Structure 1
Amino acid sequence: MDLTSLLTIDDDTEKDKQLRKAFAPYSPSITVDGNEFMCLIILINMTLPRKRLAHCWDISSAQKLWCDGSYIEKCLAEVYWYHTHNLKYPNTKVSGQRLRAAVNDAYPNVLSSANLPHDMGWSHDSKKVNLAKLFLTKFIWDGNETTLGILLSQRHAFWEKLVIDFGLSRDLLNKISEKLDDEFSLSTVFPEEISEYSKQVIFCVNDEYISITPVVSHAVQTMIHQLRYPIRKTTITHNHPASVSSLVSAVAGNVQVLDYPPLIRKNSHHSFLKSRRDKKDCFDYRALRSKAFRNALKDIVKGNMEPTLRLRRKQRVAALRVLRKQLILWIAPMMEWRDAEKDVNDRLLDTLEDKLIGLPLEKLPELVLELSIKFHQSIQFNQYIERYAFHPELMEPVKNQIRWLLKYIAGSQDNEEVSSQYIYIHLQNLTVEDASSLSNPYITGIPSLTALWGFIHNYQLRLNKLGSSVEMKSVAWFISDYLAVKEKKLPEQSILTSSNGFFRVKRSGIIDGNYCDLSMDLVIKMTIEEGCVIPSESEFMAALPSRFAGGTLLPPLLSEQSQWLQCYQSCSELFSVIAKFPSSGCWIYPDNGSLDCFDTLTKRLTEESDLKPVHIGFIGLETPKERTNATANKHCFAEPCIGVVKCKNAMEVRLDGAKHYFESAFWQQTVEYRAILMKKGHKE
């Protein structure tokens, strides 16, 4: 977008709207080459509230302001409050502090401000939010993204002549340039103390506890706003946006965040299985309705869309993977039905469904042809994919995938023996109420992985207080049910005020957030110190923490399930239980793919429906140091970062086998220089 095209808009109201939008911090920067004078006019006028000015290109209004030295100095004073990371987000009670951090090196497969160009925002007194726009607003000039503040601090001759010709005195220009140069040369500025309103999170790093204050990156927040469909987003509302930052003010308090809940099927496992039995139907037709499945069929049938042979092969392989995955989901009820039936071999084998349920496992591959026909009959009544039913280009690929699938199911019951020196505990059917689904300031959906590890670390401490010598190495996470909670949380009355000698307790202001209720299973891998006794199951139960991701954690009711914790030393025995998990839920798996920039994130989230962004850790903006009001001996400000996880269906995990599960499903916390990240657990 360029300024010239916007200035040609005939309707004045629409022109003003589009110009203000183009110079807003949430919009991609606009090119101003050839219209530098009008750019200056707009920047000056934007320092006024919109109600005081009819049009932002009014030259007379801009000239009055520009010749008012005291007014320009007020704008200049707000440069002090420019930041790279916003300490006032989301709690505006934090005051008198600013933070500027130099961009650190990017970490592999983790996204943060290090993956973006250096960018600055503003947060201070809400009355002065417009004054900050003069030297902060970004635009593109001479092929580079810049601001008026940067250009004047660099003493660029063209812009110096422009501002002087418009009426700025040489003395004031020198003062402005010196002030801007002094401020922009400060690459790192950190508060000497921590505000009582700033959050602190405690981590154990190298057997030492440090406290971390998470701070949101202006660059990342701006990038999230600039991402477009098909990226899924929702909004977090702030009631006093100008008090938060220039960016939040520009979007009227409606901050956009990525919205990616886990892949949980709506119908509960038991009700769905019952309906399948009642209808004598062991197929899940929802698996054949997804957009990814339709695209896969299209790619297989029209496999010559890519320009090179290598890309065509890559496209076909990816399409066949999607086809296989959806076929697994399609026949998942059959596998669950077989698990639930006690006497499957006593059934009459009249229909395909009866054969799938009643035949011995080793005979399932004999049903390849019948199941292939059933597949094509199933899709011929779907208006979006009916043209692919019995398509000659699909007949052989579908038959091959079904043949592989039935052979794999036939052999999947003979789980290979996986040796292990570890002890595993399986926590079953845990319920969490009001957990924070806003895993970091950029993402809502799956709760934070660092919260998962915080739960594990707390569990270890509580166990060891009971006299155990347990070290928890890693954890696997299965979410069986998920429900987003829409209501706002009303804070407790906690502020004591007095009026005319009477005291009363007020509530603090609402800070918007997203919450969820979920049901989950955890498999924790641990070691016991040599010579020590393994804690009993009752001790494991007694030490269970009562909080998870900010929510209340509850075990199952004793009337429903008294033995909700099991201890295993045999991997095969544990996997025989895990293999029967319902297909309605999903495992949260570490992702093995590459993630090097936000364009890659957008592409992968669009192409791979089972990938979800999540808070995966913190990157320290400084070396931990002693700081006033810290809850630990050392403290640092850190930026939350974005990673991706794979929501893997329970049936896929079952077919992958025990070895793959124990090598790929577990998470552990790692420390790399200044970064505290959740990564795939080490192999045994």
Structure 2
Amino acid sequence: MATLAEILDNKTDDLNKDLRRAFRPLSAPVDISDTPIEALTILVNLTDRVIEQKDLLDRQKCKDKLRDEKWWADCFRTVKYRQSHNPKFPDIRANGVIRAAPVGHLPPFMLSSSKLPQNSWAYANDSGQVNKSCFLTSEFIWNGDVLCLGQLLTELEHPLWNVLRKLGCYVKTAKYISKELALIPPLEINTSLVRNYLAQISLPNDEDSYISLSPVVSQSMQEDCYQVLSEHYRFSAITRFSRATNMGTLAMSCGGKFKMIRSLPPIEKYQHHHLDSVNWLTKRSVRAIRDYTESSVWVISPNKLALRKKSIIEDIKIMLSQWLRTTPTHEEKLDIRKLTERFNVDLAKTKFANRYAYDPLLTQLIYNCIGSIIHSPPQDAPKCEGNDDKYLLLPNLRISGASAMNTSVSIGIPSMMAFYGFVHAFQRNVQTANPNFKIESFAVCIHNIHVENRGLTREWVPNTKGQITAPATRDDWQCDVAVSLILRCSHYSQLIPRDFIRLLPGRIARGKVTVSISDIKHLGRCLSLADAIKAIPVETGRWLSLNNEVTLK
């Protein structure tokens, strides 16, 4: 945490530049508790145009402004548009006021500004007032708290009012401004959804109604990502917006060049399923082998040790049962010694458990367990629940030109909301032929993806004043992706591929959806989950899931 006194004492070639940077939104707030006179002088002089900011510590210019009623009125109007969420991102034509606090607790895997401190709120409304907004909306540290003058000056007895009066502010001005600032609500949402340019998402509420949501970007999240990604350039991507001043002081501070999270998981080298073979060496079995070999050095009571080893041996028996089902034994079927030797050979070939092969204690346990498994009566494998469910496969959908901006601060795989909208649109299309058809859930498998910036050059258009001007432009991150979807549905009647493909929506996340001719034969058939997964024509891919422990076995 830097202090204003340290910045003033620092020998620099351009002090004004360092002071402007200290009070901009994308910088860490500075502590002004020890230098309030200098801090308020700087904040007052920052309201000038940059070209006129010759000396930010000029007391005479500060005094003239503090005695100007028009200057106070211009600064006061900006406090109302101190925003927690910026309605003008990414479309600067939108307008409104959003100062909102989190409603409740969110799961830890969700990316949300509710997990950040409730500061880094910045001005966003009129490009002509961004400099005037510096005085009352710039954040700093006062007595250990991150605040702005628009919050502190609501109390007429606050010490900073005494400092302003020393700098030249009239008492009557202080009384009037303090009274007016107290009338501005700390939290407010005043944004019209009619004839505005805010994005809207409609979600089904029940059978006959929808609920509309307008996602807006949190300025706290944008600032936090910008600061963190400055040290992690490999995971960052620059997204440029023209006319950054129209978007607010935060966009102006970075010149319209926002740093966004860019991270794509490795996909093409992974198989998306292992249904044809039983994976006998799992994380659980490796953990059981490790615990058994280390159990001799455990410092626990004999009773607890016996219970713990019993549980470990059960896990090892399950592993050996799976290994015996996948290993051709032939004449060695009843030879426990040869089976134990073969298991040690297979264990030595593994990557994660080869160090446990030929361990004397473990080998003796394997010998005993194999003998008990062979001489025990065969047991039927437990049947998986949900075999009566019906699954539809949408194989290898080619999506070109889809939006890769899945959130306001991240770039990569298209948003899951886009897949949800695609599935919902498909359900509505099928219901025209089968009214009782319903999709219970769906799974997405990404086979390959390519992301790049495809900024568009837009034609000049007439503005609201009838003049021909260039519109605001921004970078457009798009992706080409191949995905397969498996839909769990109910009340489905068989459709031939020709009718099925007509009901398939043509777009997802602004991208064009196509199906290869060779994959049309898989459409419309009702399959089991295992058959649907095996029918996917592409062997590589990754499944999208919120649970990282889920594996298809």
TM over 0.5: yes
Q: Distance in 1 between matches of 2:107 and 2:519?
A: 43
Letter in 2 for 1:51: I
In 2, are the aligned partners of 1:81 and 1:123 still within 8 Å (CA)? yes
Letter in 2 for 1:396: R
Task: Note if 1:76 corresponds to 2:34.
Answer: no
Give 1:237's aligned residue: 240
Give 1:611's aligned residue: none
In 2, are the aligned partners of 1:47 and 1:130 still within 8 Å (CA)? yes
- How far is the alpha carbon of 1:542 from its aligned partner? 2.2
In 2, are the aligned partners of 1:463 and 1:539 still within 8 Å (CA)? no
Residues 512, 195 of structure 1: CA spacing in aligned structure 2 closer, same or farther, 3 A cutoff? Answer: farther
In 2, are the aligned partners of 1:103 and 1:118 still within 8 Å (CA)? no
Q: Distance in 2 between matches of 1:399 and 1:45?
A: 78
- How far is the alpha carbon of 1:69 from its aligned partner? 3.0
Q: Distance in 2 between matches of 1:248 and 1:434?
A: 27
Q: Distance in 1 between matches of 2:466 and 2:187?
A: 46
SS at 1:447's partner residue? coil
- How far is the alpha carbon of 1:428 from its aligned partner? 1.1
Residues 140, 509 of structure 1: CA spacing in aligned structure 2 closer, same or farther, 3 A cutoff? Answer: closer
In 2, are the aligned partners of 1:420 and 1:569 still within 8 Å (CA)? no
Q: Distance in 1 between matches of 2:386 and 2:349?
A: 37
Give 1:461's aligned residue: 428
Give 2:438's aligned residue: 471
Q: How does 1:59-458 map to 2 (within 5 A)?
A: 59-95=59-95, 97-109=96-108, 110-119=110-119, 120-183=121-184, 185=185, 187-207=187-207, 208-228=209-229, 229-230=231-232, 232-265=235-268, 367-368=345-346, 371=349, 396=355, 417-458=384-425
Give 1:544's aligned residue: 504
Match of 1:512 among 475, 489, 492: 475
Residues 370, 396 of structure 1: CA spacing in aligned structure 2 closer, same or farther, 3 A cutoff? Answer: closer
Give 2:515's aligned residue: 555
SS at 1:479's partner residue? strand
Give 1:614's aligned residue: none
Aligned residues: 462
- How far is the alpha carbon of 1:491 from its aligned partner? 4.8
Letter in 1 for 2:475: D
Letter in 1 for 2:107: P
In 1, are the aligned partners of 2:16 and 2:55 still within 8 Å (CA)? yes
Q: Distance in 2 between matches of 1:514 and 1:481?
A: 17
Match of 1:589 among 521, 545, 550: 545
- What's the Cα RMSD here? 3.4
Task: Note if 1:522 corresponds to 2:448.
Answer: no
SS at 1:227's partner residue? helix
Task: Note if 1:481 corresponds to 2:448.
Answer: yes
Deviations 1:594-614 (A, max 9, x none): xxxxxxxxxxxxxxxxxxxxx
Gaps of 5+ in 2: 272-289, 291-298, 300-327, 329-339, 364-380
Q: Distance in 1 between matches of 2:57 and 2:383?
A: 74
Q: Distance in 2 between matches of 1:430 and 1:551?
A: 11
Residues 363, 540 of structure 1: CA spacing in aligned structure 2 closer, same or farther, 3 A cutoff? Answer: farther
Letter in 1 for 2:246: S
SS at 1:439's partner residue? coil
Residues 66, 569 of structure 1: CA spacing in aligned structure 2 closer, same or farther, 3 A cutoff? Answer: same
Letter in 1 for 2:93: K
Range 23-32 or range 77-86, more displaced: 77-86
Letter in 1 for 2:539: P
SS at 2:131's partner residue? coil
Give 1:332's aligned residue: none
Deviations 1:297-318 (A, max 9, x none): xxx9xxxxxxxx9xxxxxxxxx
Residues 457, 445 of structure 1: CA spacing in aligned structure 2 closer, same or farther, 3 A cutoff? Answer: same
Residues 257, 370 of structure 1: CA spacing in aligned structure 2 closer, same or farther, 3 A cutoff? Answer: same
Letter in 1 for 2:506: S
Range 125-134 or range 536-545, more displaced: 536-545
In 2, are the aligned partners of 1:417 and 1:571 still within 8 Å (CA)? no
Q: Distance in 1 between matches of 2:523 and 2:28?
A: 52
Q: Distance in 2 between matches of 1:497 and 1:364?
A: 81
- How far is the alpha carbon of 1:533 from its aligned partner? 3.4
- How far is the alpha carbon of 1:485 from its aligned partner? 2.6
Q: Distance in 2 between matches of 1:507 and 1:9?
A: 43
Deviations 1:150-197 (A, max 9, x none): 1111334311111111100011111111121111x2522323452342
SS at 1:92's partner residue? coil
Q: Distance in 2 between matches of 1:3 and 1:10?
A: 13
- How far is the alpha carbon of 1:88 from its aligned partner? 1.5
Deviations 1:442-500 (A, max 9, x none): 21111111111000000000011123521111111111111113221345788699999
- How far is the alpha carbon of 1:220 from its aligned partner? 2.1
SS at 1:30's partner residue? coil
Q: Select the structure with the greater relative contact order (CA < 8 A; seq sep ≥ 6).
A: 1
Answer with 1 or 2: which has the greater Rg: 2
Range 189-198 or range 436-445, more displaced: 189-198
Letter in 1 for 2:228: L
Q: Distance in 2 between matches of 1:399 and 1:159?
A: 77
Which has the larger strand fraction?
A: 1
In 2, are the aligned partners of 1:418 and 1:572 still within 8 Å (CA)? no
SS at 1:189's partner residue? strand
Residues 49, 495 of structure 1: CA spacing in aligned structure 2 closer, same or farther, 3 A cutoff? Answer: closer
Give 1:666's aligned residue: none
Gaps of 5+ in 1: 270-299, 301-308, 310-344, 346-361, 377-393, 404-413, 592-645, 658-684
Deviations 1:315-363 (A, max 9, x none): xxxxxxxxxxxxxxxxxxxxxxxxxxxxxx9xxxxxxxxxxxxxxxx99
SS at 1:522's partner residue? strand
Residues 201, 511 of structure 1: CA spacing in aligned structure 2 closer, same or farther, 3 A cutoff? Answer: farther
- How far is the alpha carbon of 1:416 from its aligned partner? 6.5
Q: Distance in 1 between matches of 2:395 and 2:217?
A: 35
In 1, are the aligned partners of 2:398 and 2:514 still within 8 Å (CA)? yes
Residues 446, 155 of structure 1: CA spacing in aligned structure 2 closer, same or farther, 3 A cutoff? Answer: farther
Residues 365, 61 of structure 1: CA spacing in aligned structure 2 closer, same or farther, 3 A cutoff? Answer: farther
Match of 2:528 among 548, 570, 579: 570
- How far is the alpha carbon of 1:102 from its aligned partner? 4.1
- How far is the alpha carbon of 1:423 from its aligned partner? 1.0
